[in-house]
Structure 1
């Protein structure tokens, strides 16, 4: 099976560009290696207790944070019979939340759903004189679990991959 160019495929389908690849599983190897080695058996989907792993482009597994957060339990890794994952003793991924301007608080509506959904407490609300408190993200604390994504009633949060120094 050849390498699947997800960014080009997604662009041709009218979706987001290369920066918006489907969300990889925690501890997954490079996307190209993952695509080459994954049999698309679905064992990781069945193993996920949070039920956030779905079939994405080409039937490959991907995390869908609109369904909930990743608890980093490692069940998806243990269920896979292929060598597609880094050791679970390593950092599961390098990504973080991004709060968009469509956030209700930025529009003057009291909402703290993302803060409530953030297990590591990376999102805090700073009071503003004469206005609604707005969320602030501490990237040092954010683990990219996606709990805030599922909690946001207007979809104003996305999880993005952090760029390495070599990119």
Structure 2
């Protein structure tokens, strides 16, 4: 198993090890042991959000677009890495950090406008602009809110 934390010891780039790799993985913790890095999932991704990461392993990049949960990455994979499509794709959820414009009293609702399942709502507040809240029960972790956020205040990661 590859320990990516050690590779980044002297790097300035920080990545979230809790970020989802690919949807429907049976055993995400053993992904780097089983993936052959063939690139078929990257080539067949409906929204082109699967990109190569460290060591050539595929990962999700929500700054490009959202996951449409098309299941094409799982269908073309020659390895037995993926669960059935009838199961939940992952446990990933969106999280809004302090860089959100609403926390600086600037009205922006781009994340809720892009959320198809309406998991992001804005609550009216006295003396402030409406503040975002995420209903984690409704959030699918699709990442639609990530690429539309002007301050990159939203991350999608596994709890």
TM range (shorter): over 0.9
Matching residue of 1:165: none
- Worse-superposed segment, 122-131 or 50-59: 122-131
Which residue number corresponds to residue 50 of structure 1?
Answer: 47
Q: Report the 3-state secondary structure (helix = DSSP H, G, I; strand = E; otherwise coil) of the residue aligned with 1:46.
A: helix
- How far off is 1:125 after superposition? 0.6
1:125 aligns with 2:132: no
Q: Is the 8 A contact 2:119 2:134 kept in 1?
A: yes
Partner of 1:38: 35
Which gives a bigger RCO, structure 1 or 2 (Cα 8 Å, sep 6+)? 2
Q: How many residues align?
A: 159
CA distance in 2, matches of 1:83, 1:67: 27
SS at match of 2:129: strand
State the shift of 1:135 in Å: 0.7
Asked if 1 retains the 8 angstrom alpha-carbon contact of 2:46 and 2:68, the reply is no
Preserved CA contact (<8 Å) 2:18 2:158: no
CA distance in 1, matches of 2:128, 2:30: 49
Q: What TM-score does the superposition give when structure 2 sets the normalisation length?
A: 0.92
